[in-house]
Amino acid sequence: MTNPAPMDLENMRSLGIRTIDLICGCGRHKEVNVDAYAGTEAVPSMTRFFRCGECGKRPKTARPGRLHRGPAGSTTTIRSMNLIEERYLPGDEALLDY
């Protein structure tokens, strides 16, 4: 039996999920909106764009975020929280700071 291909962002978005949950080995996690990224990116490979603000390492895991629902069951893009939605580039601030 072969392993299925990992979910990509396009498939994730088609399900109404627009965020990923990044989890670092030091225990920190953050939900990040990924609308700015190409749909062909695999969800697990998204760790390469981020670094932990606590330990400076790349997150160990990226998985699809939660489907957020607004009033009366309507789907919303993200819950209201202060998310940093930028790609990681060397020298930029860490993206998993709280």
Q: Going by C-beta distance under 8 Å and a sequence separation of 6 or more, which residues neighbour residue 47?
A: 22, 58, 59, 60, 61, 62
Residue 23 and residue 33 in contact, taking contact as beta carbons nearer than 8 Å = no
**pLDDT tens profile 51-83:** 888 888 899 999 999 886 655 444 444 333 333
pTM for this prediction: 0.66
Long-range contacts of 83-88 (CB under 8 A, 24+ apart): 83/19, 83/30, 83/31, 83/32, 83/33, 84/32, 85/32, 85/33, 85/34, 85/35, 85/36, 87/36, 87/37, 87/49, 88/48, 88/49, 88/50, 88/51
What percentage of the chain carries pLDDT values higher than 90? Answer: 36
